[in-house]
Amino acid sequence: MPSNFNLAVLIDGDNIPSGHVQEMMEEIAKYGNPTIKRIYGDWTKPGLTKWKNLLLENAITPIQQYAYTSGKNATDSAMIIDAMDILYSENADGFCLVSSDSDFTRLATRLREAGKLVIGIGEKKTPNPFIVACDKFIYIEILRSPTAEKPEEKDSKSRPKFDKITRKEIALISSSIKDLSDDDGWAFLGDVGSLIQKKQPNFDSRNYGFEKLTPLIKSIGSFEIDSREGPKSRFKLIYVRNK
C-alpha cells in the first residue's frame, strides 16, 4: 500500500476485547495510515472502563452511544452512519471494521461496492457472512505478540491456539497455484497469496502458526519451492508449483 493510503478505523467497543489493541493498531498500520480512529460504545457501562487508558495511548476517539431501547444495538447503527458519512466525504481510501458482529456484513459489502478496501478484524467466533464480505479478515487472537506475554501467561490457556492444516486449505493453495501457473506449472508466490486472499479473506498463515506463507507451504510437503534472483531487486523471488 502507498504511504498516503488513508484508513478509517471503526471499532465496535461492545463486541471486541480490549486486550490486543496495541497489536491491532500495529497490524492496521501495515495496510495504510489510520487517519480516523473511532470506537463506539456506551461509556457509562462499567464493562468499558478498561478501554480508557488504551484509547489515550493509541489516540482513538471514543464515541458515546446510549442504548435507547433494550435489546437493540445502537452502537452498530452509529458505526454504520459514521462509515457512510466518511465514505461520502471521501476522507478515506479504505476502512477497517473491528467487530465480531455479522450486522456489519451489509456495510462491508456497500463499502466495497464503492471501491474501498475493507479489512475486518474480529474474534474467531465471527460469522462467515461478515468475513467473506471483507477484502481481508484478520482474527484478533493471532495478533498477540509472544514477547508481550507475562511470565505467568507463558503456559496458560490465554496463548493463541493455532488451527491445523486440513485438506481444504491444501486444495485451496493447490487450485490457486494451478490458476496462475505457467506452462511448467510454476506460479509466483506473491500472486498465489493474493489470489488465496480473494478466494478466502480469512486465510492467514499466522492462523496455523507461521509468520509467512512460504514456511507454511514448505511444511505441507505437497508443493515445490524455487527461489530465483529478481531482475530488478536484491530480493529473491519465490515460485511454487504442485508436486
Q: What is the mean pLDDT of the chain?
A: 85
Confidence bin at 154 (pLDDT 50/70/90): very low
Q: Find the mean pLDDT for residues 161-190.
A: 92
pLDDT for 209-241, tens place per residue?
998 999 999 999 899 999 888 777 677 899 999
d(CA 159, CA 172): 27
Q: Find the mean pLDDT for residues 144-150.
A: 48
Confidence bin at 1 (pLDDT 50/70/90): low
pLDDT for 71-115, tens place per residue?
446 667 889 999 999 999 988 999 999 999 888 999 999 999 999
Domains present along the chain, CATH in parentheses: 6-153 (3.40.50.1010), 167-242 (3.30.420.610)
Is residue 111 within 8 Å of residue 87, measured between CB atoms? yes
Q: With pLDDT > 90 as the criterion, what percentage of the chain qualifies? A: 56
pLDDT for 163: 85
Confidence bin at 146 (pLDDT 50/70/90): very low
Is residue 8 within 8 Å of residue 95, measured between CB atoms? yes
Q: Find the mean pLDDT for residues 36-54.
A: 81
Q: Find the mean pLDDT for residues 136-156.
A: 64
Q: Find the mean pLDDT for residues 114-123.
A: 95
| The residue count for the chain | 243
Going by C-beta distance under 8 Å and a sequence separation of 6 or more, which residues neighbour residue 110?
84
pLDDT for 215: 92
| Burial environment of residue 183 by CB neighbours within 10 A (0 to 12, 13 to 18, 19 or more) | exposed
Nearest Cα to Cα of residue 109 among 87, 138, 141: 87
pLDDT for 160: 58
3-class state of residue 222 by DSSP: coil
